[in-house]
A and B are shown apart, each in its own frame.
Chain A
């Protein structure tokens, strides 16, 4: 069964520090990999989308990397801010199916403390 596993489940860091979130997937082949940010009580918001041929993509202080050979992705957050406190969700698109084939990870809950 196609799966998307994220680690750690939760993370606490101090404001200003960097952190890296991990995503491992078994979806193969895949069309693209996305990272979403979900604030508490809100819907997810897209941060990055990478195709299988892309290795890295940035969006401000967020940088996503992708290693299609090892089926791993990471999201690196630089100089964290209190507003980065949220859940970060990794999503992999399976091209073999229809429009509905997005496989969501359970997310990593990040807390940034002052």
Chain B
């Protein structure tokens, strides 16, 4: 199993450009998440999905859109990048067993918006 993979690993954008971050998991997990991690702050949830075809807003959703057309993929889109979106983005997937959720994170995507 590859676990959770993220593409790309690193990207530089100019303000106003758009891009899509891809997250893929091969563990058949129902739940998937997108977080951003900024210096001096904890991970903050952008959007999440509880199953194929469903998405929901997290703590900091503005400026981002997501799609979960296939169970194994969760896409994060930036329509018009801003410097404030410079961050490290982590995708995670999880399953629930015995009423406990176990979360697995991807390696992260570093995004720099100039």
Contact = CB atoms under 8 A, between A and B. Distances in A.
B56 A46 contact: no
A93 B33 CA distance: 15
Contacts of A14: none
Interface residues of B, number: 26
A102 B45 contact: yes
B45 A44 contact: no
B36 to A, nearest CB: 11
A51 B108 contact: no
B106 A43 contact: yes
A44 B105 contact: yes
Interface in B82-99: 90, 92, 99
A95 to B, nearest CB: 10
Interface in B21-66: 31, 33, 40-45, 48, 50, 56, 58-59
